[in-house]
Structures are given as C-alpha cells and as structure tokens.
Amino acid sequence: MESLKSKYFLSHPDDPVIFHRKEMINARRPFEVLGNDKVRRNFDEELLELLASWEYTVITVCIDKKKHKETYLTWRFEPYHYCLALLLERFVFFLDQNGGKGDVMAESRGGKEDKKLKNSFEKLWENGTDYVDPTRFQKALTSKQCQGICAFYILRDLNIANKILSSWGVHLWKTIHLKKEGPFGPR
C-alpha cells in the first residue's frame, strides 16, 4: 500500500498520505492526479490487485437512520452506538472463533460525538450486551479505551491498510446492500 501511495501521490513515511474515499473520488488534494482518467484507471487496477491479494475479513453493520427513528419512537438507541454494540458483538464472536485478541478504533466525528462514543464503548466493556457478557469483551479486546479511526483490528494485522479497507469496505457494502436488498433484506 505504501508503494502505491508513493507512486501516485508522492507519499512519504514521515508524512504519509491518508486515503480518504471522498477526496479520492472527487480528485481533491492530494489526489488531484486521479482527475486524469488514464491515471485513475491504472491506480484503480493496481489497488484492486492489492485488495484481491490480501487476506482479510470484513464485518459490517448497516442501519437506515431515518427508518430507525420512525420505528422506535419511545425506545431509541442512538444509531452510531447501536451499530457499535452490534459490531463489537460480531467482532468478539470472530475473535473467539479464531483465537485472537483485537483492538477497536472509531472514526472521529467531532468533540462531543467522540466523547459519547467512547463512553458508550466503555459501558459495553463494563456491562456487555444482552448477548455478550462483559468478561467476554474484556477477554477478546485489548483495551477499555476506544481509539480513533474507523474499524476493528486483530492485533497481528494492525496496519494502515486495514484502516483504509474498513472505510472503503463499509461504504461499498452499504451501497451494494441497500441497492440490492433494501434496508431490511431482500424485497
């Protein structure tokens, strides 16, 4: 991944280019070179080859926030926190099945939102959910603290490429799922 970044965007390890999907799609700084169709095709091809060559598992949860608010008028879990609980459960199940320990990081959304999400994570760590006992979270996860960028990681695989895959994977899955299946499964 680093060689791809340096080839197309002059990234340097001391000042790395961070792949942000929206800026890349719109060819905004530092991705202006992607405004050239030939360069974009070559970059996309090389990136897809890399993605196809790696071994990884994607765990996602998708929520229709509007439908969630309409459906749960009295009991309403904040959508990001609800998704965090579901993702953590699935991540812990995955780690248990594979004998691993993992770390959790969440995409920064701003001061108040970040603090609320970190508090929600700590409550899950301390209290668990209806389906996962807190000791199971504590055994599988490396820290009671939620760090800061969008994903869950198995320690042996922790690197920048995982962060990129997470962000892109979630967006891609959401787009495909909602187009094909609708927000609540097959139509």
Distance of CA 76 to the CA centre of its chain: 23
pLDDT higher for 161 or 136?
A: 136
pLDDT above 70 covers a percentage of the chain that reads 75
Mean residue pLDDT of the chain comes to 77
Residue with tokens 């998708």: 62
Please, what's the b/e burial string for 65-76 (b: 16 or more CB within 10 A of its CB; e: otherwise)?
A: eeebeeeeeeee
Q: At what angle do helices 37-53 and 2-9 cross, to 10 degrees?
A: 180
In this prediction, residues 172-186 reach a mean pLDDT of 49
pLDDT in tens, 91-144: 999 889 988 888 777 666 677 887 888 888 899 999 999 999 999 999 998 887
In this prediction, residues 25-29 reach a mean pLDDT of 91
Residue with tokens 């979630």: 170
Q: Check pLDDT > 50 for residue 83.
A: yes
Q: Determine the pLDDT at residue 164.
A: 47
